[in-house]
Structure 1
Amino acid sequence: MPSGLRKAALITHVTCSVGWLGAVAAYTALDLVAVTSQEVATVRGGHLAMNLIVSYVIVPLALAALVTGLVQSLGTPWGLFRHYWVLAKLLLTVVATVVLLAETKTVAAMAEYAASTADPRGMPGTLPHSIGGLIVLLLITILSVVKPQGLTPYGWRKQQEHRRTKSKGRMAAAG
């Protein structure tokens, strides 16, 4: 991938990923308030806002982060199958996205119930999923920054091939 395109893809990926993390943090705050508040209007508003955030912010950012992450891995030297940390990020992102998509139906049903009932207090929240999602996204962020060492068997073979090709090129230039 050309340098300018690679940088644009990276900026897009980081923006979507950090946006997803921030949106989940906001959602978690609303979830906590909706579960603990004794004010009917606050509980109702919390559930309605949670549904909006999930539908219009979190799901689009999660899908965009997944797609842009694949573009980044396939279009850069990091590769998709060369480093364990890239595979771990992919696996965590896919799992988080699948759980999120399954959970959107629950969030929508809870918002619908909160809007239709006189007293939505006492409704269960999605707090375990919110906190779990936040932890997973923080772990993905840590992997992105730390980039722990460790090549996959495929990555090791590619590295050896690259070294052999480079070595042959130097020998041909010298000879």
Structure 2
Amino acid sequence: MTMPPRLRKAVLATHIATSVGWLGAVLAYLALDITVVTSQDISTVRGAYAAMEVTVLYAIVPLALASVLIGALTALGTRWGLFRHYWVLVKLLLTVFAATILLVEVQTVSFLAEAAATSTDPRELPGTLPHSVGGLVVLLIILILSVFKPRGVTRYGWRKQNEQRRNERARSTAPVG
């Protein structure tokens, strides 16, 4: 079932906004993570850990969850469908994977922020740089899939296309009366 054009555009715009927001929030988090790993100033490191927690809890997680939900709604309401094209399916799986890893990492980030606040030297705490870089790479792959839309139809999509063709042929050959 496809959405009416105005609703489709509104949902698509919302999906783009949440996805780009997620990407931007991850870039901000990455800057803080690099600060944690490279700074020699204890108060800067302590502040960066606190800002990382706030960024994760109030920007990255809400935007990630909204992006997953609105993205699925967008796919279901357009001709692309959710399971018809490989690029949409891969994009969905990568997005769910990234959001799941993010939700697991929230506990680590909160723990590190709390530890940094009470530690005499928060520079000794580990950063989350591999996760930050990995998350950014996954989001960039999702972005590339969204822009280039590589060809390839799943078995389900192939069946749906054949059904549509059969229905169109049946309608065009049906007697008018």
Q: TM-score range by the shorter chain?
A: over 0.9
User: In the alignment, which residue of structure 1 is the partner of 2:93?
Assistant: 91
Deviation at 1:174, TM superposition (A): 8.3
Distance in 2, matches of 1:128 and 1:92, equals 17
Which of residues 133, 136, 143 is equivalent to 1:134?
136
User: In the alignment, which residue of structure 2 is the partner of 1:27?
Assistant: 29
> 1:1-175 to 2 correspondence within 5 Å?
1-172=3-174
Give the TM-score taking structure 2 as reference length. Answer: 0.95
Q: How many pairs align? A: 175
> What secondary structure sits across from 1:82 in the alignment?
coil
Give the counterpart letter for 1:137 in structure 2.
Answer: L
CA displacement 1:46-101 (0-9 Å, x = unmatched): 10000000000000000000000110111111111100111101110111011000
Give the counterpart letter for 1:89 in structure 2.
Answer: K
Distance in 1, matches of 2:133 and 2:175, equals 58
CA displacement 1:22-64 (0-9 Å, x = unmatched): 1001101110111111011111111000000000000000000
> What secondary structure sits across from 2:174 in the alignment?
helix
In structure 1, stretches of 5+ residues that fail to align are: none
Deviation at 1:3, TM superposition (A): 1.1
> What secondary structure sits across from 2:123 in the alignment?
coil
